[in-house]
Amino acid sequence: MRIRHDWTREEIRQVYHLPLPELIFQAQTAHRAFHKPEEVELCRLLSIKTGGCPEDCGYCSQSAHHKAGIARQELLNPAEVLETARQAQAEGATRFCMGAAWRQISDGKDFERVLEMVRGVAALHMEVCCTLGMLTESQARRLKEAGLTAYNHNLDTSPEFYGNIVSTRVYEDRLETIAHVRQAGITVCSGGILGMGESEEDRIGLLQELSQLDPHPESVPINMLVPNEGTPMEHAEPLDPLVMVRAIATARILMPASRVRLAAGRRQMSPEAVALCFLAGANSIFTGEKLLTTPNPGPDADQRLLENLGMRAMQSA
Ligand code: SAM
Ligand code: DTB
Ligand code: SF4
Protein backbone atom coordinates (compact mmCIF):
# COMPACT_ATOMS: atom_id res chain seq x y z
CA MET A 1 0.00 0.00 0.00
CA ARG A 2 1.49 3.31 -1.12
CA ILE A 3 1.59 6.16 1.37
CA ARG A 4 0.36 9.38 -0.20
CA HIS A 5 0.70 13.03 0.76
CA ASP A 6 -1.22 14.45 -2.18
CA TRP A 7 -4.83 13.56 -1.36
CA THR A 8 -7.11 16.17 -2.90
CA ARG A 9 -10.05 17.72 -1.08
CA GLU A 10 -12.41 15.98 -3.50
CA GLU A 11 -10.83 12.54 -3.01
CA ILE A 12 -11.03 12.93 0.76
CA ARG A 13 -14.64 14.13 0.51
CA GLN A 14 -15.49 10.97 -1.45
CA VAL A 15 -13.80 8.70 1.09
CA TYR A 16 -15.43 10.48 4.06
CA HIS A 17 -18.91 10.19 2.53
CA LEU A 18 -18.65 6.52 1.44
CA PRO A 19 -21.48 4.23 2.55
CA LEU A 20 -20.44 3.21 6.08
CA PRO A 21 -19.86 -0.51 5.30
CA GLU A 22 -17.57 0.41 2.39
CA LEU A 23 -15.76 3.06 4.45
CA ILE A 24 -15.12 0.60 7.29
CA PHE A 25 -13.99 -2.09 4.85
CA GLN A 26 -11.45 0.23 3.23
CA ALA A 27 -10.26 1.47 6.63
CA GLN A 28 -9.81 -2.10 7.88
CA THR A 29 -7.91 -3.05 4.75
CA ALA A 30 -5.54 -0.12 5.30
CA HIS A 31 -5.29 -0.89 9.03
CA ARG A 32 -4.32 -4.53 8.50
CA ALA A 33 -1.60 -3.62 6.01
CA PHE A 34 0.32 -1.86 8.80
CA HIS A 35 -1.07 -2.88 12.20
CA LYS A 36 -2.41 -5.80 14.20
CA PRO A 37 -6.17 -5.21 14.42
CA GLU A 38 -6.47 -6.60 17.97
CA GLU A 39 -3.82 -4.27 19.45
CA VAL A 40 -4.43 -0.92 21.13
CA GLU A 41 -1.75 1.44 22.37
CA LEU A 42 -2.36 2.64 25.92
CA CYS A 43 -1.16 6.19 26.59
CA ARG A 44 -1.29 7.96 29.90
CA LEU A 45 -1.72 11.74 30.06
CA LEU A 46 -0.63 14.00 32.88
CA SER A 47 -1.11 17.73 33.22
CA ILE A 48 2.25 18.92 34.57
CA LYS A 49 1.20 22.60 34.64
CA THR A 50 -2.47 23.43 34.81
CA GLY A 51 -4.53 26.53 33.99
CA GLY A 52 -3.74 30.21 33.55
CA CYS A 53 -2.90 29.83 29.87
CA PRO A 54 -2.62 33.11 27.91
CA GLU A 55 -4.13 31.56 24.75
CA ASP A 56 -7.89 31.78 24.19
CA CYS A 57 -8.73 28.37 22.67
CA GLY A 58 -12.52 28.26 22.87
CA TYR A 59 -12.69 24.62 23.95
CA CYS A 60 -10.14 24.73 26.72
CA SER A 61 -10.75 24.84 30.47
CA GLN A 62 -7.19 26.06 31.03
CA SER A 63 -7.39 29.37 29.20
CA ALA A 64 -7.07 32.43 31.44
CA HIS A 65 -9.68 34.06 29.16
CA HIS A 66 -12.45 31.73 30.43
CA LYS A 67 -13.91 30.96 33.84
CA ALA A 68 -13.92 27.18 33.89
CA GLY A 69 -13.20 27.06 37.62
CA ILE A 70 -10.35 24.56 37.49
CA ALA A 71 -7.60 24.83 40.09
CA ARG A 72 -4.36 26.30 38.80
CA GLN A 73 -1.24 24.27 39.41
CA GLU A 74 2.33 25.41 38.85
CA LEU A 75 4.83 23.04 37.25
CA LEU A 76 4.98 19.73 39.16
CA ASN A 77 8.16 18.23 40.59
CA PRO A 78 9.93 15.66 38.42
CA ALA A 79 9.68 13.14 41.29
CA GLU A 80 5.85 13.34 41.38
CA VAL A 81 5.67 13.05 37.62
CA LEU A 82 7.90 9.99 37.57
CA GLU A 83 5.78 8.36 40.25
CA THR A 84 2.70 8.76 38.01
CA ALA A 85 4.63 7.43 35.02
CA ARG A 86 5.70 4.33 36.95
CA GLN A 87 2.15 3.71 38.07
CA ALA A 88 0.87 4.12 34.50
CA GLN A 89 3.47 1.66 33.31
CA ALA A 90 2.38 -0.84 35.98
CA GLU A 91 -1.17 -0.45 34.60
CA GLY A 92 0.02 -1.34 31.10
CA ALA A 93 0.64 2.07 29.51
CA THR A 94 3.56 2.20 27.08
CA ARG A 95 3.40 5.90 26.31
CA PHE A 96 3.42 8.82 28.74
CA CYS A 97 2.33 12.27 27.64
CA MET A 98 2.98 15.41 29.71
CA GLY A 99 0.89 18.50 28.98
CA ALA A 100 1.49 22.08 30.09
CA ALA A 101 -0.88 25.03 29.73
CA TRP A 102 1.70 27.27 28.10
CA ARG A 103 1.51 29.37 24.96
CA GLN A 104 5.15 28.50 24.35
CA ILE A 105 8.14 27.12 26.19
CA SER A 106 10.38 29.71 27.79
CA ASP A 107 13.99 28.78 28.36
CA GLY A 108 15.01 28.69 32.02
CA LYS A 109 14.22 26.84 35.22
CA ASP A 110 10.89 25.38 34.09
CA PHE A 111 12.25 24.09 30.81
CA GLU A 112 15.20 22.47 32.63
CA ARG A 113 12.70 20.77 34.90
CA VAL A 114 10.72 19.45 31.94
CA LEU A 115 13.96 18.09 30.44
CA GLU A 116 14.58 16.26 33.71
CA MET A 117 11.07 14.75 33.51
CA VAL A 118 11.68 13.63 29.95
CA ARG A 119 14.99 11.97 30.91
CA GLY A 120 13.28 10.21 33.81
CA VAL A 121 10.37 8.82 31.76
CA ALA A 122 12.71 7.78 28.94
CA ALA A 123 14.75 5.81 31.50
CA LEU A 124 11.60 3.77 32.24
CA HIS A 125 11.67 2.67 28.57
CA MET A 126 8.30 4.25 27.92
CA GLU A 127 7.56 6.35 24.86
CA VAL A 128 7.76 9.95 26.08
CA CYS A 129 5.54 12.66 24.64
CA CYS A 130 5.14 16.32 25.60
CA THR A 131 2.70 19.03 24.64
CA LEU A 132 4.00 22.38 25.85
CA GLY A 133 2.77 24.85 23.24
CA MET A 134 4.98 26.43 20.60
CA LEU A 135 8.67 25.65 20.56
CA THR A 136 11.76 26.80 18.72
CA GLU A 137 14.15 24.61 16.79
CA SER A 138 16.79 24.70 19.52
CA GLN A 139 14.24 23.79 22.22
CA ALA A 140 13.13 20.87 20.07
CA ARG A 141 16.75 19.77 19.77
CA ARG A 142 17.21 19.85 23.54
CA LEU A 143 14.04 17.81 24.06
CA LYS A 144 15.31 15.26 21.56
CA GLU A 145 18.64 15.01 23.39
CA ALA A 146 16.77 14.41 26.64
CA GLY A 147 15.07 11.40 25.03
CA LEU A 148 11.72 12.78 23.86
CA THR A 149 9.98 10.37 21.48
CA ALA A 150 7.04 12.50 20.35
CA TYR A 151 5.66 16.03 20.53
CA ASN A 152 1.93 16.71 20.44
CA HIS A 153 0.74 19.82 18.66
CA ASN A 154 -2.76 19.64 17.19
CA LEU A 155 -4.02 21.45 14.10
CA ASP A 156 -7.45 21.09 15.74
CA THR A 157 -9.59 21.95 12.68
CA SER A 158 -9.46 23.27 9.11
CA PRO A 159 -7.47 26.44 8.33
CA GLU A 160 -10.79 28.15 7.41
CA PHE A 161 -12.45 27.45 10.76
CA TYR A 162 -9.37 28.00 12.93
CA GLY A 163 -10.08 31.70 13.53
CA ASN A 164 -13.45 30.77 15.05
CA ILE A 165 -11.86 28.74 17.85
CA VAL A 166 -8.75 30.72 18.76
CA SER A 167 -7.64 34.29 18.13
CA THR A 168 -4.28 34.44 19.92
CA ARG A 169 -2.36 32.47 17.27
CA VAL A 170 -2.66 31.42 13.64
CA TYR A 171 -2.57 28.11 11.76
CA GLU A 172 0.89 28.94 10.39
CA ASP A 173 2.26 29.05 13.97
CA ARG A 174 1.06 25.49 14.50
CA LEU A 175 2.63 24.30 11.25
CA GLU A 176 5.89 26.00 12.15
CA THR A 177 6.18 24.26 15.53
CA ILE A 178 5.40 20.94 13.87
CA ALA A 179 8.22 21.62 11.40
CA HIS A 180 10.64 22.34 14.28
CA VAL A 181 9.67 19.05 15.92
CA ARG A 182 10.24 17.17 12.68
CA GLN A 183 13.61 18.86 12.04
CA ALA A 184 14.82 17.77 15.48
CA GLY A 185 14.05 14.13 14.68
CA ILE A 186 11.17 13.87 17.17
CA THR A 187 8.05 12.05 15.95
CA VAL A 188 4.96 14.19 15.43
CA CYS A 189 1.64 13.72 17.19
CA SER A 190 -1.01 15.93 15.60
CA GLY A 191 -4.75 15.72 15.19
CA GLY A 192 -7.86 17.65 16.02
CA ILE A 193 -11.17 18.08 17.78
CA LEU A 194 -14.63 17.33 16.44
CA GLY A 195 -17.86 18.79 17.78
CA MET A 196 -16.89 22.47 18.03
CA GLY A 197 -19.57 23.58 15.57
CA GLU A 198 -17.40 22.92 12.51
CA SER A 199 -18.86 21.65 9.23
CA GLU A 200 -18.16 18.36 7.45
CA GLU A 201 -15.95 20.38 5.08
CA ASP A 202 -13.88 21.59 8.06
CA ARG A 203 -13.37 18.00 9.22
CA ILE A 204 -12.33 17.04 5.70
CA GLY A 205 -10.04 20.11 5.58
CA LEU A 206 -8.35 19.10 8.84
CA LEU A 207 -7.76 15.56 7.55
CA GLN A 208 -6.33 16.96 4.33
CA GLU A 209 -3.89 19.23 6.21
CA LEU A 210 -2.70 16.29 8.32
CA SER A 211 -2.33 14.03 5.28
CA GLN A 212 -0.23 16.66 3.50
CA LEU A 213 2.40 16.63 6.24
CA ASP A 214 5.36 14.66 4.92
CA PRO A 215 6.07 12.35 6.68
CA HIS A 216 2.59 11.92 8.16
CA PRO A 217 2.30 12.49 11.90
CA GLU A 218 3.20 9.12 13.46
CA SER A 219 0.33 9.67 15.86
CA VAL A 220 -3.04 11.27 15.07
CA PRO A 221 -5.31 12.04 18.03
CA ILE A 222 -8.98 12.55 17.17
CA ASN A 223 -10.71 14.25 20.11
CA MET A 224 -14.43 14.58 20.66
CA LEU A 225 -15.04 17.97 22.28
CA VAL A 226 -15.43 17.73 26.04
CA PRO A 227 -17.76 20.68 26.64
CA ASN A 228 -16.29 22.50 29.63
CA GLU A 229 -18.47 24.73 31.76
CA GLY A 230 -17.34 28.34 31.61
CA THR A 231 -15.83 28.04 28.11
CA PRO A 232 -17.44 29.50 24.96
CA MET A 233 -18.17 25.92 23.84
CA GLU A 234 -19.98 24.72 26.96
CA HIS A 235 -23.32 24.57 25.10
CA ALA A 236 -22.00 23.07 21.88
CA GLU A 237 -24.39 20.62 20.27
CA PRO A 238 -23.34 17.05 21.23
CA LEU A 239 -21.57 15.30 18.35
CA ASP A 240 -23.06 12.24 16.68
CA PRO A 241 -20.52 9.49 17.51
CA LEU A 242 -20.78 8.27 13.91
CA VAL A 243 -18.95 11.45 12.92
CA MET A 244 -16.03 10.23 15.05
CA VAL A 245 -16.26 6.87 13.29
CA ARG A 246 -16.18 8.48 9.82
CA ALA A 247 -13.31 10.82 10.70
CA ILE A 248 -11.27 8.00 12.24
CA ALA A 249 -11.88 5.71 9.25
CA THR A 250 -10.88 8.49 6.85
CA ALA A 251 -7.75 9.26 8.89
CA ARG A 252 -6.88 5.55 8.79
CA ILE A 253 -7.24 5.41 5.00
CA LEU A 254 -5.26 8.63 4.40
CA MET A 255 -2.49 7.85 6.93
CA PRO A 256 -2.43 4.05 7.04
CA ALA A 257 0.88 3.64 8.89
CA SER A 258 0.09 6.14 11.67
CA ARG A 259 -1.40 5.40 15.05
CA VAL A 260 -4.87 6.90 15.16
CA ARG A 261 -5.92 7.76 18.69
CA LEU A 262 -9.47 7.89 19.95
CA ALA A 263 -8.47 10.67 22.35
CA ALA A 264 -10.79 12.88 24.46
CA GLY A 265 -14.50 12.22 24.73
CA ARG A 266 -14.74 8.49 25.40
CA ARG A 267 -16.77 9.16 28.56
CA GLN A 268 -19.49 10.64 26.33
CA MET A 269 -19.53 7.61 24.04
CA SER A 270 -21.23 4.23 24.47
CA PRO A 271 -19.05 1.10 24.49
CA GLU A 272 -20.62 0.24 21.12
CA ALA A 273 -19.53 3.58 19.63
CA VAL A 274 -16.01 3.05 20.98
CA ALA A 275 -15.98 -0.43 19.45
CA LEU A 276 -16.99 1.06 16.10
CA CYS A 277 -14.08 3.49 16.35
CA PHE A 278 -11.74 0.51 16.78
CA LEU A 279 -13.35 -1.16 13.74
CA ALA A 280 -12.75 2.10 11.86
CA GLY A 281 -9.03 1.85 12.60
CA ALA A 282 -8.43 3.59 15.91
CA ASN A 283 -5.55 1.79 17.63
CA SER A 284 -4.65 4.01 20.54
CA ILE A 285 -6.45 5.46 23.58
CA PHE A 286 -5.68 7.52 26.65
CA THR A 287 -5.97 5.54 29.86
CA GLY A 288 -6.20 6.66 33.46
CA GLU A 289 -8.91 8.35 35.52
CA LYS A 290 -8.16 11.77 34.06
CA LEU A 291 -7.16 13.35 30.77
CA LEU A 292 -5.67 16.78 31.54
CA THR A 293 -8.49 18.40 33.51
CA THR A 294 -11.51 16.21 32.68
CA PRO A 295 -12.43 12.64 33.65
CA ASN A 296 -11.64 9.59 31.52
CA PRO A 297 -13.08 6.04 31.87
CA GLY A 298 -10.28 4.70 34.14
CA PRO A 299 -8.19 1.51 34.07
CA ASP A 300 -10.85 -0.96 35.26
CA ALA A 301 -13.43 0.11 32.69
CA ASP A 302 -10.80 0.04 29.95
CA GLN A 303 -9.58 -3.41 30.87
CA ARG A 304 -13.17 -4.69 30.80
CA LEU A 305 -13.74 -3.05 27.43
CA LEU A 306 -10.64 -4.59 25.84
CA GLU A 307 -11.46 -7.98 27.35
CA ASN A 308 -15.04 -7.84 26.04
CA LEU A 309 -13.76 -7.03 22.57
CA GLY A 310 -11.03 -9.68 22.69
CA MET A 311 -8.45 -6.98 22.11
CA ARG A 312 -5.21 -6.35 23.97
CA ALA A 313 -2.77 -3.64 24.95
CA MET A 314 0.14 -3.09 22.61
CA GLN A 315 3.45 -4.13 24.15
CA SER A 316 6.29 -1.67 24.34
CA ALA A 317 8.19 -1.41 21.04
N1 SAM B 1 -1.10 24.14 25.50
C2 SAM B 1 -0.64 23.18 24.59
C3 SAM B 1 -1.27 23.32 23.21
O4 SAM B 1 -2.37 23.79 23.08
O5 SAM B 1 -0.63 22.90 22.25
C6 SAM B 1 -0.82 21.77 25.07
C7 SAM B 1 -2.04 21.35 25.87
S8 SAM B 1 -3.58 21.39 24.98
C9 SAM B 1 -4.72 21.15 26.27
C10 SAM B 1 -3.57 19.90 24.01
C11 SAM B 1 -4.73 19.61 23.09
O12 SAM B 1 -5.83 19.11 23.84
C13 SAM B 1 -5.34 20.76 22.32
O14 SAM B 1 -4.61 21.05 21.17
C15 SAM B 1 -6.72 20.24 21.97
O16 SAM B 1 -6.70 19.61 20.72
C17 SAM B 1 -7.01 19.22 23.08
N18 SAM B 1 -8.11 19.66 23.94
C19 SAM B 1 -8.05 20.63 24.88
N20 SAM B 1 -9.24 20.81 25.47
C21 SAM B 1 -10.10 19.93 24.91
C22 SAM B 1 -11.48 19.64 25.09
N23 SAM B 1 -12.23 20.31 25.96
N24 SAM B 1 -12.05 18.67 24.34
C25 SAM B 1 -11.28 18.00 23.44
N26 SAM B 1 -9.98 18.23 23.23
C27 SAM B 1 -9.39 19.19 23.93
C1 DTB C 1 -4.83 15.40 22.51
O2 DTB C 1 -5.05 15.44 21.29
N3 DTB C 1 -5.74 15.22 23.42
C4 DTB C 1 -5.18 15.28 24.75
C5 DTB C 1 -3.66 15.39 24.46
N6 DTB C 1 -3.62 15.52 23.04
C7 DTB C 1 -2.83 16.37 25.14
C8 DTB C 1 -5.77 16.33 25.60
C9 DTB C 1 -7.27 16.14 25.78
C10 DTB C 1 -7.74 17.15 26.73
C11 DTB C 1 -9.18 16.98 27.09
C12 DTB C 1 -9.70 18.03 27.96
C13 DTB C 1 -9.09 18.10 29.33
O14 DTB C 1 -8.93 17.06 30.01
O15 DTB C 1 -8.82 19.20 29.76
FE1 SF4 D 1 -3.61 26.97 26.40
FE2 SF4 D 1 -3.34 24.66 25.12
FE3 SF4 D 1 -5.60 25.23 26.45
FE4 SF4 D 1 -5.04 26.52 24.21
S5 SF4 D 1 -5.41 24.32 24.41
S6 SF4 D 1 -5.77 27.46 26.13
S7 SF4 D 1 -2.81 26.68 24.33
S8 SF4 D 1 -3.60 24.93 27.33
In a domain, 316, yes or no: no
In a domain, 312, yes or no: no
Q: Closest Cα partner for 244 from 258, 261, 219, 230? A: 261
In a domain, 315, yes or no: no
CATH number of the domain within which 28 lies: 3.20.20.70
With a Cβ cut-off of 6 Å, ligand 1 is lined by 59-60, 99, 101-102, 131, 133, 153-154, 156, 193, 223, 225-226, 228, 264, 292
User: Whole domain around residue 213: which residue ranges?
Assistant: 9-304
Q: In what helix (H) or strand (E) does residue 211 lie, and over which residues does it extend?
A: helix 200-212
Among the bound ligands, name the one nearest to the CA of residue 95: 2
Domain count, the chain: 1
**Is residue 60 annotated as a catalytic residue, yes or no?**
yes
Q: Separation of 252 CA from ligand 2 center, angstroms?
A: 20
Helix, strand, coil abundance in the chain, percent, nearest 5: 40, 20, 40
pTM for this prediction:
0.97
Rounded Cα distance, 148 and 37, in Å: 27
Q: What is the pLDDT of residues 34-89, one digit of tens each?
A: 999 999 999 999 999 999 999 999 999 999 999 998 999 999 999 999 999 999 99
DSSP state, residue 77: P
Q: Separation of 129 CA from ligand 1 center, angstroms?
A: 14
Rounded Cα distance, 60 and 62, in Å: 5
Q: Separation of 106 CA from ligand 3 center, angstroms?
A: 15
Among the bound ligands, name the one nearest to the CA of residue 132: 1
Q: In what helix (H) or strand (E) does residue 99 lie, and over which residues does it extend?
A: strand 95-100
Answer whether 61 contacts ligand 2 (Cβ < 6 A).
yes
In a domain, 4, yes or no: no
Phi, psi of 47 (to 5 degrees): -85, 110
| Residue 270 CB contacts under 8 Å (≥ 6 apart), including other chains | 241
Answer whether 149 contacts ligand 2 (Cβ < 6 A).
no
Q: Which of 48, 152, 222 to probe ligand 2 with, by most ligand atoms within 8 A of CB?
A: 152
In a domain, 14, yes or no: yes
**Is residue 43 annotated as a catalytic residue, yes or no?**
no
Answer whether 99 contacts ligand 2 (Cβ < 6 A).
yes
In a domain, 178, yes or no: yes
β-pairing verdict for 219-224 and 259-262: parallel
In a domain, 310, yes or no: no
Ordered per-residue pLDDT tens for the chain, 317 residues? 889 999 999 999 999 999 999 999 999 999 999 999 999 999 999 999 999 999 999 999 999 999 998 999 999 999 999 999 999 999 999 999 999 999 999 999 999 999 999 999 999 999 999 999 999 999 999 999 999 999 999 999 999 999 999 999 999 999 999 999 999 999 999 999 999 999 999 999 999 999 999 999 999 999 999 999 999 999 999 999 999 999 999 999 999 999 999 999 999 999 999 999 999 999 999 999 999 999 999 988 999 999 999 999 999 76
Per-residue pLDDT at 317: 61
Q: Which of 46, 48, 55, 132 to probe ligand 3 with, by most ligand atoms within 8 A of CB?
A: 55
**Is residue 277 annotated as a catalytic residue, yes or no?**
no
Per-residue pLDDT at 316: 76
Among the bound ligands, name the one nearest to the CA of residue 57: 3
